[in-house]
Copies of this chain bind each other. A is one copy, B any other.
Amino acid sequence: MSATLLLGPGPSNCPASVLDALSKDLVGHLDPRFINTMEACKEKLRKILHTKNAVTFPISGTGSAGMEAVLVNILEPGDTIVVGVNGVFGMRIANLAERYGATAIRVEEDWGKPMPYAALEAAVTEHKPKILAVVSGETSTGVYQNMDGLGDLAHNNGALLLADCVTSLAGMPVLLDEWGVDLMYSGTQKCLNCPPGLSPVSFSQRALDVFQNRKSLVPSFYLDLGEILKYIGDGLAKRAYHHTAPVSMVTALDAALDIVLEEGLEARWARHKDAQNYLFEKLAPLNIHPFVEEADRLWPLSTVTIPDGVDEAAVRTALLNDDNIELGGGLGPLAGKVWRIGLMGVNADRAVIDRFVDCLSAKL
Binding site for B on A (CB under 8 A): 3-4, 6, 8, 10-11, 13-14, 19-20, 22-31, 60-65, 67-68, 72, 88, 92, 95-96, 98-101, 187, 189, 195-197, 217-222, 241-249, 320, 326, 331
Q: Which residues of B contact A243 (CB under 8 A)?
A: 62-65
Q: Which residues of B contact A220 (CB under 8 A)?
A: 68, 72, 99, 219-220
Q: From A241, which residue of chain B is reached at the shortest CB distance? A: B331
How far apart sit A60 and B246, CA to CA, in the bound complex (Å)? 11
How far apart sit A187 and B13, CA to CA, in the bound complex (Å)? 27
Give the one of A8, A72, A243, A245 with max B CB within 10 A. Answer: A243
Give the one of A189, A219, A241 with max B CB within 10 A. Answer: A219
Minimum Cβ distance to chain B for residue A177 (Å): 28
Contacting pair A244 B26 (CB below 8 A): no
- Count the copies: 2
Q: Which residues of B contact A72 (CB under 8 A)?
A: 220
Contacting pair A4 B23 (CB below 8 A): no
Q: Which residues of B contact A14 (CB under 8 A)?
A: 25-26
How far apart sit A249 and B189, CA to CA, in the bound complex (Å)? 13
Give the one of A4, A88, A221 with max B CB within 10 A. Answer: A221
Contacting pair B64 A222 (CB below 8 A): yes
Do A219 and B100 contact each other (CB < 8 Å), given the known contacts A244-B62, A248-B22? yes
Contacting pair B26 A4 (CB below 8 A): yes
Contacting pair A222 B6 (CB below 8 A): no
Do A23 and B20 contact each other (CB < 8 Å), given the known contacts A92-B221, A249-B249? yes
Give the one of A19, A72, A195 with max B CB within 10 A. Answer: A195
